[in-house]
Amino acid sequence: MTIFALLTALLPLALQSLIPASSHQRQQDAVCLQIQEDISPASTVYFPGDDRYTAGIMHWASSSSENSICVVEPGSSEDVAAVRTSFAVKGGGHASNVGFSSTTGVQIAMSRISDVKYDAHSQTAEIGAGLKWDDVYAALEAHNVSVVGGRVSGVGVAGFTLGEGGFNNFGIVTKFTLKTFPSKGVWGGFQYVAGTDLAQNAAAVADFCANVTDPKANIISNYGKGYMIYLHLCLLACDDTNSFLRRPKSPPPGIFDNLLAVPTLFSDVSSRNMTSFVKLVPDSIGLRGAFHTVPILKFTPSLLDVIANESAFWGTKLAPKGAGLITYAIEPFQPDIYEHNPDKTAYPPVRDVGYLPLNLYFAWVSAEFDEDFHAAMIASGEVIRQAAIAEGQDITNGPLYPNYAFPETPLSEIYGENVAELRRIKQIVDPKDIMGLAGGSKF
């Protein structure tokens, strides 16, 4: 670069430094500069304009990203504790609720804490809290083992896991120790089904929900009306029942047969590794977005009809307001899903009933319509809830899955009778309420 070019490049910066900063700006800078002084060389503070700042505040839903005064990337547990001002802690940044892992204060981005340590002896893996599931599966594949985690690209280990344990209420977690199991991969993928074949597909989904008892087989059936066509997405994953030592070439018979018989617009189901499976769904699409949930006991054909109608109705109604995706994800777990763990957990407060968290996900373009989409989700969730009750499903007191619940959801509707106990624990582990400086639902 010539001297002239260098001076031209530096001139705007020089001029900027001559403009007096507001006292608010100076205070903000002082907070971040102090953090910079307090932390070890393992960690770094990034300011607006830096690529790492932009990556640090970025969230999967654009509506969940806020402009922070600076981003801190801690590289050690000690440095995690250096922030003593309003802050947010972000794992994978997939929170759909604004302010849960975003802030106008200091954004703590855990991305630097990213080790995966597999211990073959204890059959466990220590996983850094800044990791996304994609990276964890990839690291463990080298050892022919895997862990139970997220199903699509980009979801963070931290929020996903802490979603059953009280999120950031009790402190900032730096690593998780997860049980591993042998795995050489999965058989699974996508199927897109046209609206004209929805009835056949709904029958196959309802049949799967009612009759498949293999705990290694699962589907996620996603109803949506995207622009011109109905989309139906199935994620099918199943390990070979007889041997973990080779990758399943095909699923055991009788599990997915009906689903595979439905005509598809597009299908990408094959034997593959877990990394390729999660990457089937693209990470962020840059839209505003929100989740909502209804606890369901049984996905019957008639309830699936109601859900299909809701997706068609709201897809059409919200299209003029810039709807991107209007989807309803059916996630049929085994009825005894919560009985495998005898320990008490924050969520679910009841473990003897297998409530299934129906996921509503609406995505849209402009902040102007935030309230319309919110109201639509509430209304739609209520229609589905009432339909399930009318079918005789006892879901009145079904707890709402924290990772899908709206921000204003009362704690009792998520954690039930556990709230008092969770508040007591919070008092013990965080008596000064340091975590009160971070956003999200608070005990």
Ligand X SMILES: Cc1cc2nc3c(=O)[nH]c(=O)nc-3n(C[C@H](O)[C@H](O)[C@H](O)COP(=O)(O)OP(=O)(O)OC[C@H]3O[C@@H](n4cnc5c(N)ncnc54)[C@H](O)[C@@H]3O)c2cc1C
Shortest distance, CB of residue 110 to ligand X, whole angstroms? 5
Q: Which of 74, 91, 224, 349 binds ligand X (CB under 6 A)?
A: 91
By beta-carbon proximity to ligand X, the closer residue of 100 and 137 is 100
Site string for ligand X, 164-183 (x = CB under 6 A): ---xx---xx----------
Distance CA 243, CA 141 (A): 16
Q: Is 346 in the site for ligand X (CB under 6 A)?
A: no
Task: Judge contact between 363 and 325, C-beta under 8 A.
Answer: yes
The C-alpha atoms of residue 304 and residue 326 are separated, in whole angstroms, by: 15
**Whole-number Cα distances in Å, 49 to 9, 34, 46, 69, 144:** 15, 19, 9, 11, 41
Q: How many CA atoms are closer than 13 Å to the CA of 308, on its beta-carbon side?
A: 26
Quote the least distance from Cβ 11 to ligand X, whole Å: 39
Does position 162 interact with ligand X (CB under 6 A)? The reply is: yes
CA 272 to the chain's CA centroid = 23
First to last CA, the chain: 56
Q: What's the rounded Cα separation, in Å, for the pair 102 and 99?
A: 5
Q: Which one among 110, 217, 287, 377 touches ligand X, defined by CB under 6 A?
A: 110
Q: Does 74 contact ligand X by CB under 6 A?
A: no
For residue 238, what is the DSSP state?
Answer: B
**Minimum distance from CB of 7 to ligand X (Å)?**
42
| Binding string, residues 375-404; x marks residues near ligand X by CB under 6 A | ----------------------------x-
Please tell me whether residue 105 binds ligand X under the rule CB under 6 A.
Answer: no
Q: Which stretch binds ligand X (CB under 6 A): 41-49, 87-95, 365-373, 374-382?
A: 87-95
Beta bridge partners of 267: 191
Q: How far apart are CA 95 and CA 411, in angstroms?
A: 17
Q: Quick check: 87 binds ligand X (CB under 6 A)? A: no
**Closer by beta carbon to ligand X, 156 or else 399:** 156
> Are the CB atoms for 269 and 187 separated by under 8 Å?
yes
Choose, by CB under 6 A, the member of 57, 72, 90, 277 that binds ligand X: 90
CB-CB contact of 97 with 440 (8 Å): yes
DSSP SS3 for 350: coil
If one asks whether residue 155 binds ligand X (CB under 6 A), the answer comes out as yes
As to burial, measured by CB atoms within 10 angstroms (0-12 exposed, 13-18 middle, 19+ buried), residue 281 is: middle
Least distance in Å: CB of 320 to ligand X?
25
Q: Does 55 bind ligand X (CB under 6 A)?
A: no
Laid out side by side, the sheet with 323-330 consists of 266-272, 186-192, 229-237, 218-226, 323-330, 356-364, 288-296
CB of 39 to ligand X, least distance (A): 17
Considering only residues 45, 106, 125, 129, which one is a binding residue for ligand X as defined by CB under 6 A?
129
Q: Does 212 bind ligand X (CB under 6 A)?
A: no
Specify the residue, 100 or 406, whose C-beta has the smaller distance to ligand X: 100
Pick the piece of the chain touching ligand X (CB under 6 A) from 34-42, 146-154, 236-244, 425-433. 146-154
Tell me the C-alpha distance between 167 and 153, whole Å: 20
Residues lying near ligand X in the complex (CB under 6 A)? 60, 89-95, 100-101, 110, 129, 150-152, 155-156, 158-160, 162-163, 167-168, 172-173, 403, 438, 440
